[in-house]
Structure 1
């Protein structure tokens, strides 16, 4: 896996955020997220870069179990819609139940960006709130600080510095 990307690679990268607050049937949140990483390949998503795991308090209820988050860059021939469908299939395999927004969950996979695409229909990319979240932009800045938001043009490093949600997010020990 690479740890340096040129701007052309970053402009084409598909960015996926992973998170969980419940380990489900796994011994830990880390084990669940590592298994989810492996599952990406079965859906045609080849991981080319990955962040470390970051921890943050649950939002909007900090009394709920804390989250573990990370970001991966992937290569794929899939469209944005197909990537989102694949991510939802993986979430279902890991016991994700979509009952209540922001509820504790076993797995949350978000399509943050699909290259330089800007779509606002059945599928929305870039993710409409990811740029505000340190638990997304921090891990992305860790592996691709020069990645540029497809709409604002701001770098991941700049967006991490300006994040207003999940500002307690830090790399897990």
Structure 2
């Protein structure tokens, strides 16, 4: 299978948030079918819809992969499990969260995967990190740079530390 450029959102709001995101990147990069090309700056933001819980750290990894979309999703879910994520509900705190937000130029609508992510345009914690590494990427017909221009950074704080694969 030819190599495809994909984007994976990383998030964590429990425990060693940055360490867990770093471990996820190392595990992803350890897959022979996947290469981490670059990683966005890390942003800290409030946890939306979860009540009084710790803030999230979020970043985006640009990867090159020969994995098919659902195989990439399965690899992300396996990394989450390896790092101790326990799914307790849709809007629950998490040690690590990995979401495939874009896979080449593909639009995928199936039970397990929606790509590009359907709510990306309203998520500042996804759009701004993505803008840092792929401003010209088109999501549902719009450039990421244009999406970023419409979303405030008011709830986001640039984290002083970075992630490296």
Q: TM-score range by the shorter chain?
A: 0.7 to 0.9
Q: Which moved more, 1:114-123 or 1:67-76?
A: 114-123
Contact 1:134 1:167 (8 Å CA) reproduced: no
The within-5 A match list for 1:108-123 is 108-122=97-111, 123=113
Q: Aligned to 2:39, which of 32, 50, 64?
A: 50
Residues 117-168 of structure 1: CA deviation (Å, up to 9, x unaligned): 001113221111122101011001011111111x2x211122123238x851
Q: CA deviation at 1:34?
A: 1.0
| Larger RCO (alpha carbons 8 Å, 6+ apart) | 2
Aligned equivalent of 1:35: 23
Contact 2:50 2:93 (8 Å CA) reproduced: no
Aligned equivalent of 1:98: 87
Aligned partners of 1:121, 1:167: CA distance in 2, in Å? 33
Segments of 5+ residues of structure 1 without an aligned counterpart are 1-11
- 1:75 maps onto 2:67 in alignment: no
Contact 1:56 1:135 (8 Å CA) reproduced: yes
Aligned equivalent of 2:121: 131
Contact 1:133 1:167 (8 Å CA) reproduced: no
Residues 5-57 of structure 1: CA deviation (Å, up to 9, x unaligned): xxxxxxx520100000012xxxx211111111111023332111110110000
Q: Which moved more, 1:87-96 or 1:123-132?
A: 123-132
Aligned equivalent of 2:155: 168
Aligned equivalent of 2:163: none
Determine which structure has the larger strand proportion and give its number. Answer: 2
3-state DSSP class of the match of 1:49?
Answer: strand
Segments of 5+ residues of structure 2 without an aligned counterpart are 161-165
Contact 1:16 1:72 (8 Å CA) reproduced: yes
Aligned equivalent of 1:143: 133
Aligned length: 155
- The alignment's TM-score, normalised by the length of structure 1, stands at 0.83
Q: CA deviation at 1:61?
A: 3.0
